Every structure is written in structure tokens, then in C-alpha cells.
Amino acid sequence: MDALYREFILDHYKNPRNFGELEERDTEFFDRNPLCGDELGVHIRLDGDRVSEIAFHGQGCAISQASASIISDELKGKTVSEIAGLNRHFVVDEIGIELSPTRLKCGLLGLKVVQGALLGRQEWPDGTPDDGPDPEDVAKLRSEI
Amino acid sequence: MEVTTAQVGGARSVEAVRADFPILSREFDGKPLVYLDNAATSQKPTAVIEAIDAYYRRSNANVHRSMHQLAAEAEALYEGARAAVADFIGGRPSETVFVRNATEAINLVRFTWARQNVAEGDIVLTTEMEHHSNVVPWQLLCEETGAELEYLTVGADGKLDSRELARQLSTGKVKLVAVAHISNVLGTINPVAEIARSAHEAGATVLVDGAQAVPQLPVDVAELGADFYAFTGHKMLGPTGIGVLWARRELLERMPPFMGGGSMIRTVERDHSTWADPPAKFEAGTPAIAEGAGLGAAVRYLSELGMDAVREHERGLTAYTLERLSDMDGVTVFGPPDAAERGSLVSFEVEGVHPHDLAEICNREAVAIRAGHHCAQPLMRRLGVPATARASFSVYNTRQEVDLLVDALEKAKSIFGV
């Protein structure tokens, strides 16, 4: 099979890290992937302007849930302004696989809800359109057809 | 690909039919395309592609207004398509309005008939198994008018309950019943003729969303007895960008225009206008002429296969799919268990593997299925699932393709260790 469903991803899907709820939290956010209905919420506790605790909850495909799990440890200790600057490349580096245009939003949902919680941002990382693929991906696919 | 020698229509084998669809020769990583997403959109036969090509190469002109030869040819292609489509569904050309798609057909009714006939205190009755296209326009109408939107529930067997319909109708407040002929998620074939009869006895008007039905069942609007019947070209082997609203003539005559502009008028004064007869009254602006020509070719193609034969072919595939899936552990199929009561699609879930992951793994095997909420979020909530996977069939699909689907599902189960 391909890299998408290697053991690392499946392990995070079946045993997600930092999943659950935080009784004491400073901010939270919930959103879904409009294309397919993956759901993810996040609770965050802050220490000054740094993320000290983070907990996701939701349901969805392996990529959406595993991506949130994988990035969760990396987000702890980051400042709000550091997280504001993260984009798809951060997610892709962390999960270690390229995401196809059809799966990009699954992978980005975790980062999106974190940025929503910390920054009140409604839009997808990198300005990916709400109901369509990333323009970069469109250009790449066009050249391959 | 190895195909069965089953006949689709008349003397045509599935193999011969497949040869009519150029896209089916595509391969991905050496694996032949298995296209099982026909409820989203069907593939197109060469006859349709060539009809569009021929219009642009040989006959391109605007319709309705010019006197030259090309305009006459364009008119013949476009109006010929209307006549063919009307004949295909047992209607008359004067009752057959071309629109962009089924969604636009339903919205046309919302903005014309419904605005005139639905008011505060009335009920618009739809069902839990509708596509969003037969829900959202009525939500908007109810917001605008103060009418109530009510839903017929879907039972565990994937069907509507006629007693619940009777209860709703007995209030005397139901102005419109908006129902799918075939559910795009459950596959349920709704008894629209019975529904129309009951609704009419209670003084309600009936709109049927036929987007899934016209591609796969013999449909006769006169027999069904509905008032409005909406469907789309691209799911029935035709091009995108053209759909149909069939409506009873007397309704069309009484309805106000939809959009204003060229083609839909008889006379235009400085301060008012008079309207052309239906269907032109509802077709403002230059229409989708090439797409009309393409849809005409699609209807001729389906007619040559014969819709009884198409239905029989697809019912057989659906029954086979239900049989294969019921043999798999951890698979739940939604909708009526009997293929005779359902259209040619099967929605299912595999325990422990999210539908997106199923679709992704199928895609690696060149098997195209749909995963998601299928534009039917109220139904997803009723079923208690966030999404389902769906395989849907057309005239060119084979049992061997169903086997390839099942192989891909087994692969997904083994990757996820379930």
C-alpha cells in the first residue's frame, strides 16, 4: 500500500494523543470539513501566550483524526503568534506524507480549529477556499492531466 | 476488461455498450477504471460527445430569432431535443422547460408557483430522505412567506410511512408535497403515484425530484400524476448545464415568469411586457444549445437501449451488490433490503473504516465510489452516521466491477485491521 495508511498514521487514528476534553480551558473551537463532514473540536489552556494543554475531540476519517493527534504534541509550548504563522507545510512535515487535493482539508482540520480557537480565524490555513481545493493543487493536477 | 455477456438492451451486450463510452478505457497505474459514482454524474457515450461537437463545428448559431440556415439548424437541434425529452418521459414539449439542472428546476417552482400559492400558515411537506436541492429552496420559501416546513420521517426500512403522509394531509394546510422519486442515499423508490393521489385529494400540489429516477426507470409523468417533475441531464448520460422541469400545462400558464430577459417575452413596452407561451416564458436569455443537443442524443441513446432493459440490468447489479456486501463481516447496508424496491445504488458503511478512507483505498484500486453526506445531511442525522460510502451503477457497469469493489473493500479492512 502507499504511505497514506502506514502504521504511523493508523496508530494515531486508533490511539489518538491529546484527545478528550479539558475541564479548565481558556479557549475552544469546533468546525467540520464542509466537503465530507469530518468533525473536530479543540480545547486549549494557555500559560501566558503559550499553549500549555490541548485536547481534541471529534469523529471523522483516519487522516483528519490522525493529523490532529500528530500535531497536538508539537503545538504544546508554541506561542499564539507562532501558531498564527503555521500552514499546510507544517502539517505535511509533521504527518510525513503529501496530501492529495481531495484529502487536504481532512489533514488541515486540526490546525484550522486550533487557529480558530486562538485567533478567531474562520478561514482555512493558507486561504484554501472553503468549498474547493487549494489553487496550488489545482495547478499541479492540471499539468498532470 | 472481462465482462459478462449479459444484455443491456435489445441485442446489445454490456461489452458493446462499454465501447460507446470512451472514458471507460482509462487506466490508473495499469488498473482499468471502475466507475461506480453514477448517482453523482454518469459518463457520456460518444453519441452525446459528438452531438455537442457537431453543433459547434457545423451548426453553431443562436436559436429563436435569426433567419439564416445555421439558425434553423440550431433551432432544430434544440427544439428537437425538447421533443425527444418530452417523449421520453411521456410529456408534451410545451410542458418541458429546459433549465440548468434539477436544482434550478426546483428553484424555478419556488420563485414562481410557490410565491403565488404558499402563504403564512401553510405547510410545505418534504421528507427526511431528500437531497439538499429539495430542502433548502423550501426552507428559503418558508423564511420568506412564514409557511411551515415539515418532514415525513424515514423508517428503519428506508421507506416513508403513508399513514404519516395522511396525518399531515388531514390538517388541510399542506400546499406542496416535495418528494424524491428515488433517494440518492437509500435508493428507496418512493410510491410517487400514490403520494400524488393522496396529496391531490387533500388539495396539495406535488413536486417530484426525479434526478435519480429518470436515468434508470421508465418514467411516465402522465401516469405518475405529479404536478412538477424535475430532473437533470448529466446523470442520464447527457452533458452538465442542462436540466428539465416538466409541469402540467395549466400550472405553467398561470405561473408568473422566472427570470426576465430575451426569449421569454411577447411584447416589451417602456413600462411593461407580455410573456411568451410556455415553455419559452421560463427560458430567458440564450439557452444551453449545445447541451440541449447533447441531452437529445442521450435520450435517444437510452431509448435505443430501452428503459425496461436498463432497469433490469441495473436491478440485477444492485441485487448482486447487496448479496456480495451481505456476505462481508462488519458491513451495514442502508435502505430497503430488496433490490426490487430500490434504485441502482447502494450506500453502506464498514465498521472501523471511515467512508473517506474506504473511498481513498478504492481509488488506489481505480474504483470510483462516493463517500460523504451526499448532500443529504438531515438523512445522515436520521441514520446516525456522519457519512456513508455509496456505489451507484449505470448501463455500462458489470458484475466483475462489483467484484473489484468488494476486493477493494476487503483490502481496506485488512489495512485497518478490522
pTM of this prediction? Answer: 0.92
Nearest to B357 among A37, A61, A102 (CB): A61
Q: Which residue of B has its CA nearest to A63?
A: B357
Instruction: Check whether A23 has a pLDDT greater than 50.
Output: yes
What are the angstrom distances between the C-alpha of B222 and each of B145, B219, B227, B282, B410? Answer: 31, 9, 9, 21, 45
Nearest to A4 among B354, B360, B372 (CB): B360
pLDDT of residue B55: 98
**Tens digit of each residue's pLDDT (9 = 90 or more) over A72-88:** 999 999 999 999 999 99
Nearest to B387 among A36, A62, A102 (CB): A36
Chain A residues touching B387 at Cβ < 8 A: 36-37
Chain A residues touching B357 at Cβ < 8 A: 5, 61-63
The answer to whether A5 and B415 have CB atoms below 8 angstroms apart is yes
| CA pair distance B90, B106, nearest whole angstrom | 20
Contact B356 A5 (CB under 8 A): no
| CA pair distance B398, A106, nearest whole angstrom | 32
Instruction: Check whether A103 has a pLDDT greater than 90.
Output: no
Enumerate residue ranges in chain B where pLDDT < 70.
Answer: 1-7, 9-11
Query: Omega before B279 cis (within 30°)?
Result: yes
Chain B residues touching A58 at Cβ < 8 A: none
The answer to whether B9 and B304 have CB atoms below 8 angstroms apart is yes
- Among B21, B17, B71, B72, smallest CA distance to B50 is for B21
Amino acid of residue A77 = G
Cell numbers placing B201: 385529494
Regarding an ipTM greater than 0.90, the answer is no
Contact A37 B380 (CB under 8 A): yes
For residue A51, the cross-strand partners are: A46
Strand order in the sheet with A50-59: A27-32, A39-47, A50-59
